[in-house]
Chain A
Amino acid sequence: MHNNSIIFLDFASTTPVDPRVVEAMMPFFDQMYGNSSSTHQFGQLAEHALEESRRIVADYIAAKSSEIVFTSCGSESDNLALRGVAFAERDLRGASHILISPVEHHAVSNTAIQLQELHGFEVEFLAVDQYGIVDPDDVDRRLRPDTAIVSVIHANNEIGSINPIGEIGKICRSRGVCFHTDSVQGAAHLPVNVDELNVDLISIGAHKFYGPKGVGVLYVREGTPIYPILTGGGQEQNLRAGTHNIPYIVGLAKAFELARSGYKARHNNYIQMRDQVVNEVLETIQDSKLTGHPTQRLPNHASFIFKNVDGNTLLMMLDAAGYACSSGSACKTGDPEPSDVLTALGYPREWALGSLRVTLGQPTKPEEIDGFLTALPDLITQIRELVPH
C-alpha cells in the first residue's frame, strides 16, 4: 500500500500549498471569476486582484509593478528571458553570443542549446569551481561586445550552491549586457532584491515556496530589450499573452508574502538541521562526499554522492523505507545517467551515479531527520552488497 506515513524530504522539488494560500485563492475560482481584461465589474475585480498581486511581488523584490510579468512557471520565465532577450538583442545590435554556467537548470541550458542549434546563436559555458560556483572574473573575461545575455543560476537545485549574483550582475551592468538569474530555488530562501543582485531578469516559481504549481514570475527591468515568446492579447505589458490565471497569481503573491515574512527565523532552523544531516552522513557513511559548497548553499539543502551506489535504487529503497528524497540523476525508468551538473563538477561515473538530495521544509521535524539518519547507512550498505563493484 502507498505509505501514508512517508516522510517528505524533497522540498526542493516542490512544496505543499499553504492552507492560507489555498484560502486566498478559492474565491477567484467561482466567485470573482472575471477576466481581468473585461470592462465590466467582474473584470474589474479580477484586475484589482491581479494588480494587487503584482504590487506585492514587486515590493518584496524592490521592483516596480510594471517590471513584474506573470507566467505559467519558472521554466516559462527562463524561456521568456533567454529567447526574448536573445532575439531582441540580435535585432537591436547583432548580438548572438549567450553566456551561461554549466550548472543551469535545464529550462535555461536546453533553451540556450536550442537557440544555438536552431537559431544560430553561439552558447559559451562559464567555468565553475568544485562547488559549482561561478567566478565573477571569469564572466568578465568571457563577456564580448556581441554577448546578448548572461544567465547564471542563483542557487543550484541539485547541489544547493549559491552564486555571487550581485558581483556578476555588477560586471554585466558595467559592460551593458543583460543579466538573468534563475532564482526558482533561491527565491524561496534567499533575499531577492533586484538592485542588490544587479539583475535585469529573475525567474521565480510559486510552488517552491508553498504556492501552487503552474504559476511563476519573470522580473524584467525597465528598458530591457525583450520580445514576447507567447503572442496574442496584450497582457503583461505585451510580454506574455493569455488570459490571466487570477487564482494562481493571487496564490503566488500570498505564498511569496508568507515566504518573505519571517524567513530569517526559518533560515536558522533549517541550517541547524541541514548541518546535522551533512555532518552525520559524512561521518557514518564510507565513501561519501558533500556536493556543492559547505556553507554558501541553500539553508534547507543537503546533497551527497556515494561511491558505487546506484542513486536510483537508493531513492526507491528510501521510499520503501518511508523517506521521499531526490537525486541529481532522478530517473523513474531505471535508466541511470549521471547528471550534467555532477559531470560538470568533474565527478567520475562511479561517484556521480550515486547522488542523493535531502531538502527540508516547513513541516520537517527534528525526529524525522533522526529517523532518516538512522535508516540511511544501512540502506547504503545493502545497495553496495546488491551490486558488488
Chain B
Amino acid sequence: MSGGVDSSVAAAILVDQGYDVIGMMLRLWSEPGTDSVNRCCSPEAMAQARQVSAQLGIPFYAIDAQDVFFNQVVDFFIDGYTQGITPNPCLRCNRHIRWEFLLHHALAFGSDFMATGHYARLRHNNSRIQLLKAVDREKDQSYVLHVLNQDQLAKAVFPLGEYSKSEVRQLARNYNLPVADRPESQDLCFISQGDYREFLQRNSTLTANGGLILNTEGETLGYHQGLMNYTIGQRRGLGVSSRIPMYVLEKDQANNTLIIGERELLGRDTLWAEDVNWVSIGLPADPFQAQVKIRYKSSEEPASIYPIDVGKVKIQFDRKINGITPGQAAVFYQDEICIGGGIIYASE
C-alpha cells in the first residue's frame, strides 16, 4: 500500500468482498546523506497508508527492503548506465522486490494471495494464467507486469483491472478514502535531488568521460560530457551547432563516441531483445504477429516477433519507429493479452 488512491481502493474492494486483508508497504532504499526519502515510502505516504489501513480495519506492516532494493535495483541502475544503456529500474523492482521479496513476505505472513493497485487483469485460460490489459487502457500497467512468471501470477490479484480511473476515484469517495495520487511508480523513486545524472555522479565511480560527437559519416561535430549523460532520441543539450535539429542516434560505448543525426535517421525497424519472459504463453516455436510497445507510455506498433534463441527475440516492425532505447523493455501484445516482453539490447 502506498497511501494513494489506487492501493487504498484495491484494499477496500477486497475487504468489501470479504477477504481477510493485511496491508503492507515496502521500505525502500534512499540516498544516504540527503534529507529526502524514497518517494515510494515517505513518512507522509506511510502515515497515510497506516490511516487507510486503520480505517479499513486491517493490520498494516512496513517491510524493510532497503538492502535488497539497493542490491537488486539501485546497483543494477548504476551498472546499466555504466554499460551505456538506459536501464528500467521499475521492471527490476517489480520482478525482484515486489513479486519476489514482498510476495515471499506476504506468503510467510500467512497470505494466500498478494494484491496490488496495478491496473491490469488476469484470466485463467486452461492451465495458464494470462496477463491482460486493464479495462482503462490509459492507465494500463501490464507493461511493467510482463516480467511475472506463472507462479507469481497464481498468487497475484489486481482488483482495479476492471475499473476506470474515474470509477476508482468514485469508489475512493464512496469508501471515504483519500483520492490523491501518489507519484507514478515510473518515477525514479530513490533519487532524492536533481536528475539521474547528478545521482550517478554522487553514487557511482562512473566518471563523466568526455569524447567525440560524430555524425553518421564519422565526422566530428563536437564533444560530449560522458555517454551516461545522453539518451537515444535526445535533442537538447548536445552543444552542437547545426542548421537542422540533431538527435542522439547511438551511444558507441566501445569508442566512447556519441553518434548524432537528423530526425529521420532515428527511425529503426528492427530490434533485438533479451531476457524475454513469455508471461501469458508457452515458449513459442514460430514467429508471430503482435503489437509492440517500446516504452511504458509509447504507442503500440505492429511487428513480427522472431524467437531466435533461448530468451531472445528479433522484432521486425512494419514501419520505422523512433526512440528504440537499449535497456528499456519491448512488450508484445495480441489484442488485450500481454504476451511477454524482453529488454532491448540492439536495433538497426
Q: Return the contact of A333 from the options B46, B68, B108 (Cβ within 8 A).
A: B46
B22 near A320: Cβ-Cβ < 8 Å? yes
Q: Given A2-B57, A313-B105, A386-B108, are A333 and B21 neighbors across the interface (CB < 8 Å)?
A: no
Are B64 and A1 within 8 A (Cβ)? no
Chain B contact residue count (CB 8 A cutoff): 26
The answer to whether B27 has its CB under 8 Å from any CB of chain A is: yes
Knowing A1-B21, A333-B27, say if A319 contacts B62 (CB, 8 Å): no
Chain A positions 312-351 with a Cβ under 8 Å from a chain B Cβ: 312-313, 316-317, 319-321, 332-336
Contacts of B57 in A (CB 8 A): 1-2
Is A387 located at the chain interface by the 8 A CB criterion?
A: yes
* A5 CB–B CB distance under 8 Å: no
| In the complex, B183 has a CB within 8 A of chain A | no
Residue B219 CB within 8 A of the other chain: no
Across the interface, B64 reaches (CB within 8 A) one of A2, A319, A335, namely: A335
Q: Does A310 contact B (CB under 8 A)?
A: yes
Contacts of A332 in B (CB 8 A): 62
Q: Is the interface of B mostly helix, strand, loop or mixed?
A: mixed
Cα A305 to Cα B64 with chains together (Å): 18
Which residue of A2, A3, A319, A382 is within 8 Å of B108 (Cβ)?
A382
Asked whether B137 is an interface residue with its Cβ less than 8 Å from the other chain, the reply is no
Residues B59 and A386 in contact, CB atoms below 8 Å apart: no
* A190 CB-CB contact with B under 8 Å: no
Assuming the contacts A313-B105, A387-B68, asked whether A320 and B59 have C-beta atoms less than 8 A apart, the reply is yes
B110 interface contact, C-beta 8 A: yes
Contact indicator B58/A333 (Cβ below 8 Å): no
Q: State in angstroms the CA–CA spacing of A317 and B22 once bound together.
A: 11
B43 in the interface (beta carbon within 8 A): yes
Asked if A334 and B62 sit within 8 Å, CB to CB, the answer is yes
Question: Does residue B196 face the partner (Cβ distance < 8 Å to A)?
Answer: no
**B151 interface hit (Cβ, 8 Å):** no
A sample of 10 cross-chain residue pairs with beta-carbon separation below 8 angstroms, ordered by A number, consists of A1-B20, A1-B58, A312-B64, A313-B64, A319-B61, A333-B27, A334-B27, A334-B65, A336-B64, A383-B108
Q: Which residues of B contact A (CB under 8 A)?
A: 15, 20-22, 25-27, 41, 43, 46, 57-59, 61-66, 68, 101, 104-105, 108-110
Interface residues of A, Cβ cutoff 8 Å to B: 1-3, 310, 312-313, 316-317, 319-321, 332-336, 379, 382-383, 386-387
- 9 shortest A-B CB distances, which residue pairs? A334-B27, A334-B62, A316-B61, A334-B64, A320-B109, A382-B108, A2-B57, A333-B62, A386-B104
